[in-house]
Structure 1
Amino acid sequence: MIYYITGGERSGKSRYAQNLALELSNSPYYLATSRVWDGDFAERVKRHVSDRDERWTTIEEEKYIGSIDIDGKTVVIDCVTLWLTNWYLDTENNVEESLKKGKEELNKLFNKEANIIVISNEIGMGVHAQTKMARKFTELQGWMNQFIAQKADQAIFMVSGLPVKLK
């Protein structure tokens, strides 16, 4: 099963996804995709880690998520936005290449026999990005979200900590 959880920043996506994972498995996996960019981000990662107890196994992979062995497991992928940022920056802001490489990795991942819970952000619903680089990333994120939503068996939009079922 592929579960897609999306919403704005601090909308409750991670908490919802983690609770869902624990309903599906007594020993879920957490696939962290972020790079630690600065001290503030390190604190955010630390907070996320403290949200999980000993039942969780954490895997860190910045880009090649399709190569992770998750067969037979329940996995929370947190999050598409940070993962896409890695592709976007490493391709020198090439939207087409980032989208292509990202879709390739997701297709590999989605072909595995697992419960996959994908967390992403709806960044295009907020303030209009001020720079060309940010506007292009917003487009990339929107296209990737559409791709994931089409592949997902269930899609949930989080608003103020409340889940709204989309699919």
Structure 2
Amino acid sequence: MIYLITGGERSGKSSYAQRLALELSSSPVYVATARRWDSDFEKRIERHQGERDERWTSIEEEKELGNLELGNRVVVIDCVTLWLTNFFVDTKNNIEESLLQAKAVFEKIKSIDGTFIFITNEIGMGVHAGTEVGRKFVELQGWMNQYLAQNAHEVILMVSGIPVKIKTSHEQA
């Protein structure tokens, strides 16, 4: 089962995903995709870690999510935007190569028997990116979000902390 939780910044995506995971399992896995860029980001990581208790197994993995031992587990992947950033930076801002690499990893995840809850951002719904590299990343994020949504069994849009189901399993592409 694949869930995609999407929405704007601070819309309640992570909280909702964590509640869902705990409804589905008494011992879920949390996969953090963030790189530790600076001290501000370090504080953000610490805040997220503080939101989870001893029921959680936490794993940090920047890119190769499909190589993790996640079979028969409920897994929250937080988040697609940071995960894509890692591909984007490593490919020197190449949209096509980043998308190919991320899709290949996602296909590995799809082959694992488990429940995956992906958290992503709808950055294209926000302020227009002011730089060329920013616009390229918005494009990459949009393409990947479409791909994930097509492959997900359920897609939930978070709006001001309220989950709005926009796709259910019988609508899978």
TM tier, shorter chain?
over 0.9
**Runs of 5+ unmatched residues, structure 1:** none
The aligned counterpart of 2:170 is none
The aligned counterpart of 1:109 is 109
Deviation at 1:112, TM superposition (A): 0.6
Q: What code does the residue aligned with 1:50 have?
A: G
CA distance in 2, matches of 1:44, 1:7: 18
CA distance in 1, matches of 2:141, 2:111: 22
What are the Cα deviations for residues 8-31 of structure 1, in whole angstroms up to 9, with x where unaligned? Answer: 000000000000000000000000
Summarize the alignment of residues 129-148 of structure 1 with structure 2, pairs less than 5 Å apart.
129-148=129-148
What are the Cα deviations for residues 48-90 of structure 1, in whole angstroms up to 9, with x where unaligned? Answer: 0000000000011001111111110000000000000000000
TM-score (norm 2): 0.96
CA distance in 2, matches of 1:102, 1:83: 8
The aligned counterpart of 1:166 is 166
CA RMSD across the alignment: 0.4
The answer to whether residue 120 in structure 2 is matched with residue 120 in structure 1 is yes
CA distance in 2, matches of 1:34, 1:127: 22
Q: What code does the residue aligned with 1:73 have?
A: R
The aligned counterpart of 1:151 is 151
The aligned counterpart of 1:24 is 24
The answer to whether residue 74 in structure 2 is matched with residue 71 in structure 1 is no
Deviation at 1:104, TM superposition (A): 0.1
CA distance in 2, matches of 1:163, 1:81: 19
The answer to whether residue 103 in structure 2 is matched with residue 99 in structure 1 is no
The aligned counterpart of 2:61 is 61
1:109 is paired with a residue of what secondary structure? helix
The aligned counterpart of 2:7 is 7
Deviation at 1:110, TM superposition (A): 1.3
- What percentage of residue pairs aligned between the two structures are identical? 62
CA distance in 2, matches of 1:30, 1:140: 24
Deviation at 1:36, TM superposition (A): 1.0
CA distance in 2, matches of 1:132, 1:79: 23
**Runs of 5+ unmatched residues, structure 2:** 168-173
CA distance in 2, matches of 1:120, 1:111: 20
The aligned counterpart of 1:90 is 90
Deviation at 1:111, TM superposition (A): 1.2
Q: What code does the residue aligned with 2:4 have?
A: Y
Q: For this pair of structures, how many residues does the alignment match?
A: 167
CA distance in 2, matches of 1:3, 1:95: 24
The aligned counterpart of 2:81 is 81
Structure 1 runs, 4 residues or longer, greater than 4 Å off: none
